Structure 1
Amino acid sequence: MNFKDTLEKDLSNVFFNANELADKHVLGGQELDIVVESNLGAVKGYGKDQLMVSQEVYSHFKTILVKSSDFYIPNIGSILELDGEEYYVEEADEELGVIRIVISANES
């Protein structure tokens, strides 16, 4: 077994396992085992307070981690649905079989 095989096995059996770290969510119309984190810190090098003041709108950010074999890398600025709610894609990249997507929604 090589490194890629070991990594894929760990991603499926541990990281994206609903009994371990992941939870079931509906992402882009697909029910998937993914990791979703609320971002209370910085996004793109700006702190939450700086973003709120500069935009004069409160934005809620989340980071989604999903296996690259289960999903696609969405375009920045596109709309992505998570659990029935629409969010804007702020960042999206892929590394070592994992897609990381930062999404935002404006709230009042």
Structure 2
Amino acid sequence: MNFKDYVAQDTRLVFFNPDEFGEIHHVGGRDICIVIDHEELTRRKANTTNPDDGIHDAEILFYAKREDFAGRPAIDGFLTMDGKQYRVTSVQEDAFSYTIALAATRS
């Protein structure tokens, strides 16, 4: 295995492990393991200078394996999490995961 393979394995086996950092949530109609990061959301909100960056109104920021989604979630699209509908405000992508910020939908 090469370094990239080891990182991918660690990501799946440690970071997205419910016995370590991950939590099972019902996202987009499926039960998947995600990592919610309240501290990172707070940090990003404090450091934002652009009100259009999608972070300022986010309520949840989480990391999820890319393989758990059919495709990259669309900004301003909707995603259901644990029975509640949210608007996707920000999506960042790396080699193995998405960092997704969600805001509650208002009616």
TM-score, normalised via structure 2 length: 0.79
Structure with a larger share of its residues in strand: 1
Q: Cα distance, 1:40 vs. partner?
A: 3.4
- What's the CA shift string for 1:19-65, capped at 9, x where partnerless? 00000001100100111233334078159xx8xxxxxxxx5511120
Q: Does 1:36 align with 2:36?
A: yes
Q: Report the Cα distance in structure 2 between the residues aligned to 1:14 and 1:21, rounded to whole angstroms.
A: 7
Structure 1 gaps of 5+ residues are: 51-58
Which structure has the greater CA radius of gyration? 1
Q: Does 1:45 align with 2:48?
A: yes
Structure with a larger share of its residues in helix: 2
Structure 2 gaps of 5+ residues are: 52-56
Say how many residue pairs are matched.
98
Q: Percent identity?
A: 30
RMSD: 2.4
Equivalent residue runs for 1:1-108 within 5 Å = 1-38=1-38, 39-41=41-43, 42=45, 45-46=48-49, 59=57, 61-71=59-69, 72-105=71-104
